[in-house]
Amino acid sequence: MENVTQASGSMASSSSSSAASVVDDALPQWQLHRWHSAWRRWSLWSLLVLLVASMLITLVWLAGRYEASQVQSRVERDAADAVSDIRIAFAHNVQNMQSLQMGEPDLANWESRASDLLNARRELVRLEWRDSQLKVRAHAESPFRPMTWDPADGGNSIHSDMNLSCTNARRVGGPSYSSSYFQPLPNGMGSEMMELCLPLMDDGRVTGFLIATYSLQTVLVDLVAPSLQRGQEVSFTEADGTRLAVVGAMRRGTRMFTAQQLFDLPGTTLILRLDSWHAAPSVFPNVLTALVTAMSIALVTVLIVLVRDNRRRLRAERDLGEALAFRKAMEDSQVTGLRARDLDGRITYVNPAFCEMVGFTADELIGHTNPLPYWPPELAGEYSARQMVRMSGNHIPPREGYESTFMRKDGTRFPVMIYEAPLINAQGLHTGWMGSFLDVSEQRRVEEISRASQERLQATARLATVGEMASLLSHELNQPLAAISSYATGSLNLLQTDQPTASPPSENLADVRVGIQRIAQQAERAGRVIKSVHDFVRRRDQSRESVSAQELVDAVLPLIRLQAHKLRVHIQIIIEPELPDLLCDRTMVEQVLLNLARNGMQSMDHPDIHPRVLEIRVRRAASNAQNKWLEFSFSDMGAGISDDVAARLFTPFYTTRAEGMGLGLSLCRTVVEQHGGFLGHMAREPRGTVFTFTLPAFQPEAV
């Protein structure tokens, strides 16, 4: 048993040892797999971190490069602007130097001008006027920089910079600059100078030179330093880098940016150098924080914009609703009809006033095209043709409107006044036509009543005038009739002889012929008087025609002379020559002439008034630049018109005469105003009154 047990124990121990050996063999493979997985995972994360870090480093580097490039570009731009400012100032100085020779000044005048120029331009320290041999004729020095000068220096030295620049100026025929040179100052210091030689030409020949000396330090101080920024320094340098003049602040910052610009001048070349110091770019605040801040600001901005846009939209909708309600109330309250049509002539809108005017509802009208239901059938063809021309765009309706005839739903016709205008939308496109319509039937009725009343007043006034003229006609016709009777009796007496069978003597026949001629003349005179009154009473033509002023005066002159003969008034008629014709209603204007003439003569019907003269004058109006108006004036020598009478002078049925009707002057003013003229009166010196009215002249081009 012990052997079995020992054997079993040995077997168990052997089996456990074999299992341990297997585990020991399998453990490195699992660890290797785990390590491989961990390495791959960390490699991916490391690669991601590396990419992110590379991107951030690249962004930082690009930001630094961008900021440096911006600073460099700004420095180069400032350097270019400085060179441009100096170049402009030098060109301006050349022009000022040329102006010194204007008017051939003497030496004293030239030195005075040069001193003024040196006071104005601080960069110039000396001006010289030299002859063709470089001998000094006149000179002036700047009061801001006193220096010791040798007037003979430069003129006698053939190798001097000034001699070389003047030789070059003589060759090129224009300004030439010398190289810079050092000029000692009285205080032990010195300054770099440069000279400009400007030749004086006369017919292509050099007669002298103008020499200007520049201080390079002052050029930088006056022309460039005012525009320098803090931390910038500007200097003139030579090609090898030697600084000739320096202006600017001391060094500031940790990084310097430099820009150089070539300043080439005729005869010499300088280099303008601009140095600018800036602090090192702050990386994180400028990139990461800026990105986050920019995104946050962008999100907040978008939210604010959306909120404001929503509020604005709600406000616009509310305003639009109020505007629509206001427009609807306004359109409903109007008595003017409104109609809108598109480009095809289709009705798109009508207001209640238009529907009430034509008797159709809005539903019956909207969408209709030619022919429209409110067109009279007999005029539909004409209206359709007119609308086709209108819709083609070749005809624009007149701004003053035009009159037409519409038909209501019950068939009645009525006149309307139409005003149309293009309908333009918010984009400026022509989308149709907008028209307004006025029912003028009541206006036409009132005009007809007014016209009939005016005709009745004219007829009444004319008949009253004829009644007054009847007594004058009887007196005036007695004279020609009595003359006719006397000539007839004398002729009969001459024809009677003692011997009836014998022939009358020849001298008697001549006397009889003269008597018969006198009878004919007197009969014709009486006929003219009667015919003028007959035509004046019976004429009813209200149309306007072209008539001369002489014809108007001649038409009423017989009637005027009837009363003038009775009242012992002398008539003077003055008509300017070459007056244009009038465009008027002849009958109505003759009535005005007759009434004013009668009033003027009756105002002188007083025993104490002598002489009695009525002057009728026709001339061009005083403010008539284009012969468009003629002026008629009636000047009497009566007692004049008092102020209380003048206030009511043109009132209908107001008169100062017992036998008058009070319609004459009122009718005259109505007639004149209907022709577009003006009727007025004023006192005449030393006594009397002048009535004046204007009438339009006939314009052939207007017709």
Write out the DSSP string of 241-275: S-EEEEEEPPP-SSEEEEEEEEEEETTEEEEEEEE
| Bond preceding residue 611 cis, omega within 30 of 0 | yes
Q: In the numeric block, which tokens belong to residue 101?
A: 């020779």
* Amino acid at residue number 661: M
- Going from the C-alpha of 538 to that of each of 403, 587, 594, 617, the distances in angstroms are 33, 10, 16, 27
In the predicted structure, residue 500 carries a pLDDT above the cut 60: no
| For range 595-603, the mean pLDDT | 88
Q: In the numeric block, which tokens belong to residue 476?
A: 């005036």
Supply the pLDDT for residue 15.
40
- Other CB atoms closer than 10 Å to residue 530's CB: what's the count? 14
Q: In the numeric block, which tokens belong to residue 139?
A: 């000179």
| Bond preceding residue 686 cis, omega within 30 of 0 | yes
In the predicted structure, residue 460 carries a pLDDT above the cut 80: no
Confidence of residue 3 (pLDDT cuts 50, 70, 90): very low
Q: What is the CATH number of domain 334-439?
A: 3.30.450.20
* Maximum mean pLDDT: which of 30-44, 467-481, 674-688: 674-688
Is CATH 3.40.50.2300 the right assignment for the domain spanning 89-277? Answer: no
Sheet holding 689-696, edge to edge: 570-575, 613-620, 629-635, 689-696, 679-683
For residue range 101-134, list pLDDT tens digits in order.
887 888 888 888 888 888 888 888 889 888 888 8
* Residues 198, 265: Cα–Cα separation, whole Å: 13
Going by C-alpha positions, the residue among 146, 144, 142 that lies closest to residue 125 is 142
In the predicted structure, residue 599 carries a pLDDT above the cut 80: yes
DSSP strands (E only) in 479-584: 545-547, 570-575, 582-584
Supply the pLDDT for residue 11.
40
Q: What is the CATH number of domain 441-540?
A: 1.10.287
Between residues 353 and 229, the one the model is more confident about: 353
Residue with tokens 């210091």: 189
* Amino acid at residue number 202: D
Quick check: 339 and 435 in contact, CB under 8 A? yes
CATH of 541-703, one of 1.10.443.10, 3.40.50.300, 3.40.1280.10, 3.30.565.10: 3.30.565.10
Quick check: 653 and 460 in contact, CB under 8 A? no
Q: In the numeric block, which tokens belong to residue 572?
A: 């003077």
Going by C-alpha positions, the residue among 225, 247, 226 that lies closest to residue 235 is 247
User: Residues of the chain with pLDDT > 90: what percent?
Assistant: 7
In the predicted structure, residue 18 carries a pLDDT above the cut 60: no
Question: What is the end-to-end Cα distance of the chain in Å, rounded?
Answer: 159
Tell me how many degrees the CA angle 91-94-97 measures, rounded to the nearest 5: 155
SS3 478: helix
Region of residue 359 (phi > 0: left; psi between -120 and 50: alpha; otherwise: beta): left
Confidence of residue 249 (pLDDT cuts 50, 70, 90): low
- Other CB atoms closer than 10 Å to residue 406's CB: what's the count? 23
For residue 276, the cross-strand partners are 232, 257
Supply the pLDDT for residue 615.
93
Quote the pTM value. Answer: 0.38
- Within 13 Å of residue 420, how many CA atoms lie on the same side as its CB? 21
Confidence of residue 302 (pLDDT cuts 50, 70, 90): confident
Indicate the DSSP class of residue 33: H
* Residues 699, 580: Cα–Cα separation, whole Å: 9
What residues contact 266, with CB distance under 8 A and at least 6 apart?
168, 169, 172, 174, 175, 176, 177
| For range 609-622, the mean pLDDT | 88
Confidence of residue 8 (pLDDT cuts 50, 70, 90): very low
